[in-house]
Amino acid sequence: MRVAITGCNRGIGRAVALALASEGASLLVHARRQESLDAIVAEALEAGASQVVGVLGDLRDKSLGERMAVAGFETLGGLDAILLSAAILGPMVPVAELERHALRQALDIGVVAQVDLVRPLLPRFVAQGHGALLWMSSGLGRFGLPGYGAYAAMKHAVEGLAKVVAEEHRDDGLISLAIAPGLVQTEMLQAALGTEDVSEHQTPEETAQGFVRLLRALEPEMNGASLDIGDWLS
C-alpha cells in the first residue's frame, strides 16, 4: 500500500503514518517543519515502512500539492490513497465576533489548501485507474456548536468537497469520502476544550488502527460516504 499523509508532525497524522509503517506500507509524509519531517521519516523507517518520502511545506504554499504529487507518482511509483489530516482549529469565538481576516485564514488552510493538495492528484489517480481520498472531517462538519463557527465552516466544506469529488469521478475508479475521527487526545482537542481533561478520549494510536482497517477495507460502495472512525475500532 502506498499512502500519502499530510500533517505527520503530530497527532493523528503521525500515528497513522507509524501504524501503516508497521504494516510495511510505502509512505509519502508531509510536515511543516524540517525537524518534524526528519523525525517522522526516521521513525517510519524504523517501524518497518518499505519506503518513506518526506515533503516539507506550509499548507498555504500553492506548490505543495504538485510537489507531493510528483513525489508520490515519480518517487514511489504511484499512490493508492491520500489522508488529508493536516488541520487548524481556527478562532474559538461566536460568529458575531468572528473577524473576516481570522475566518479567511482558517478557510485558507482548512479548505483552499486541501483543494490545492487534491487538484494535482486527481488527474494522476484517474490515469492510473484508482485512488482514494480520505478527507479528515469532524462531527462539526455535520452539526454545529457555539463558538466553533470557523471550524464548522471548514469541516462542512470538507464534507461537501468529498461528496463533489466522489460524484465527479464516480466512473474513474476513485473513492472520495469524509471521515470523522471522533474525540482524540490531541493538542487541538486540548486547545478546544481548555482545562478539561482529555485523557478519557481515544489516543491517536488507537485512532490510527481504525484508519488502517478502513484503508484495507476500501471498496467502491464507500465512494461519497461520510464515515466515523469509531466504526472501525475494535
- pLDDT, tens digit (0-9, with 9 covering 90-100), for 128-140: 999 999 999 988 8
Read off the C-alpha cell for 48.
518497518
Which residues are CB-contacts of 206 (< 8 A; sequence separation ≥ 6)? 233
Least confident of 9-18, 23-32, 159-168: 9-18
Question: Higher pLDDT residue, 45 or 143?
Answer: 45
Cell numbers found for residue 132? 482514494
How much is the pLDDT for 190?
A: 57
- Residue whose grid cell is 456548536: 145
Query: In the structure, what pLDDT confidence band is assigned to residue 184 with cuts at 50, 70 and 90?
Result: low
Residue the block writes with cell 482497517? 213
Mean pLDDT along residues 97-120: 95
Fold of 2-107+129-232: Rossmann fold (3.40.50)
What integer best gives the mean pLDDT of the chain?
91
Distance separating alpha carbons of residues 18 and 87, to the nearest angstrom: 19
77 CB burial (10 A radius; 0-12, 13-18, 19+): exposed
The percentage of the chain sitting over the pLDDT mark of 90, rounded to a whole number, equals 76
The residues spanned by each domain of the chain are 2-107+129-232
